[in-house]
Chain A
Amino acid sequence: MSDDKLLSIIECCELLKVSRPTFEKMRKKHSLKEYLVGSRPRFSRNEITKILYSEISTDDRDARVKKKEAKENIKALIVNDFDLDKAYGGMNIDIDRLAAVDSYGVSSLLCKLIGESGRLQRKIYTSKGFMRAYFQKLNFLPQLQKFSGGSVQIDASMLIQDSTIFPEIILPISQVGFKTAEKKYLEQIRAILRTQGFSNEIGDYIGWTLGELADNSHTHSDCGGKVFISIERLEAKEHNYLQINILDMGDGIHTTLKKNVKYSNLSDEKALLMAFKSKVSSWGDEHQRGKGLTDILKIAFECNSFFRVESCNLAYMFYCQDKRREVKKIMPATSTNGTRFSIVLIDNDFKEIKRTEVDRFVDEFLEQL
């Protein structure tokens, strides 16, 4: 029990992502041992984790193992080029054609399909239980139905219910429809993270990150309330990792910044990077704005982390780590209008970084363009 932790029934339900009646059934089925703390029953987190994996069917377990193997090298998913077009075959979208996909890829596909709605009639389907379950648990279908205006037909194959549990999905794709709407999710996120052994600080950094980026989406771009967030836990050896995705369907960072005449002559690439400097904003200097994206870069440095940013058809990776400080151009997951972030926060020893250092980092890469 030395590396174990005792969980209450509520915490077990949160970890397993099941209701209390379902937990009671699982408890009987697996003869789960109770540890009494006072008069209250508690359960071993290690034993609960074993249940998680035993509840998965053999086929799905194989698929899950493959996904886990892929996720052990998290850069394989976050950093590599996503090619969502691979799923497209004529007017059909076969998600089985995606070799690998994570919550950011699913969110990007959602934005791509919403962006195409009204212009094209498409049909989406799958034959793989694992993919179907992953898309379902990420809340992809309800969001697609809500925002695509019926222009994407959802094949029955996407709707078959699947019992696969994805404890790594901390927050499925959720809409932040107006300013400060992200706050309603943060309490829930913090509670889950505590149960799963994350530090309080990582919850604070998530609050800061989502607060800044959701506010940016609603302030600077005409996204019509189409702002989507999701959080997924990544499996890695040394530390706990979290992937925080926030995507909007506004004008994109570089397009928005260039509305300020001071930056209107910059190339799109330069405008996108320049936006991460402090006091650089689409609003005039007299408003003293332009701190949100610098905060994001600062958070990434303080967590020794990295992130992907996409602005319409442009995409960059920012490596803000002791071992690697670099900005690298990559292929976007989609060229749909909007701003899309996937930030990997690492739950490790946080260190304070000054905004001036962040500005210097951006300047170095601006000079190279």
Chain B
Amino acid sequence: MNISKLSQFGVDLAGREFGNNVYDLIIKDTTFPIILDFDGVGSMGSSFADEVVVKIAKQQNNKIIVKNINRVIKSCLNDVKDETGIELVIQ
């Protein structure tokens, strides 16, 4: 499975437009399914998550696998999971 390291886009990931740009960059260089690796990422906003996490989940049976998430990112992801119904797998 492909692993996308989100730290290449910064430590703090926020903003819908930025998220949309990041999504385009991720899918340009890889094929689904993708694991999102948050090693080195400190925070992520809900809008960014909508544009990246949810969109990727929709491409792989509504499921997203993430690794190396801290408490702050976990809190955001749990809300995204509740609101969108995606399956969240934390490695």
Contact = CB atoms under 8 A, between A and B. Distances in A.
Interface string B68-89: 0011111110110011000000
Interface string A173-197: 0000001100100110010000000
Contacts of A350: 71-72
A180 B25 CA distance: 17
B14 interface: yes
B75 A352 contact: yes
A295 B70 contact: no
Contacts of B76: 208, 295
A219 B17 contact: yes
A180 B71 contact: no
A203 B18 contact: no
A229 B10 CA distance: 19
Which of A289, A291, A354: most chain B Cβ within 10 A?
A291
Given A208-B45, A291-B46, A291-B47, A179 B75 contact: no
A183 B47 CA distance: 17
A172 to B, nearest CB: 20
Interface in A190-240: 190, 200-201, 203-205, 207-208, 210-212, 215, 219
Contacts of A353: 75
A294 B10 contact: no
B37 interface: no
Contacts of A292: 45-47
Nearest to B42: A204
Interface string B9-34: 01111111110000000000000000
Contacts of A205: 43, 72
Nearest to A186: B12
Interface in A128-157: none
Interface residues of B, number: 28
A210 B15 CA distance: 10
Contacts, number: 96
A294 B80 CA distance: 13
Where chain A touches its partner, the secondary structure class is helix
Interface residues of A, number: 33
A354 B48 CA distance: 17
Interface in B26-66: 42-48, 50
A355 B47 contact: no
A283 B14 CA distance: 18
B42 A200 contact: yes
Interface string A282-319: 00000011011011001000100000000000000000
Nearest to B70: A204
Given A186-B12, A212-B14, A215-B16, A295 B72 contact: no
A289 B72 contact: no
A276 to B, nearest CB: 13
A213 to B, nearest CB: 9
B79 A179 contact: no
A354 B78 CA distance: 8
A22 interface: no
B18 A208 contact: no
B44 A208 contact: yes
18 contacts: A179-B15, A186-B12, A187-B11, A200-B42, A201-B72, A203-B42, A207-B42, A210-B12, A212-B14, A212-B47, A219-B15, A291-B47, A292-B47, A350-B71, A350-B72, A352-B75, A352-B78, A355-B83
Given A180-B15, A186-B12, A212-B47, 10 more contacts: A180-B10, A180-B18, A183-B11, A204-B42, A204-B70, A207-B11, A211-B45, A215-B15, A288-B50, A291-B47
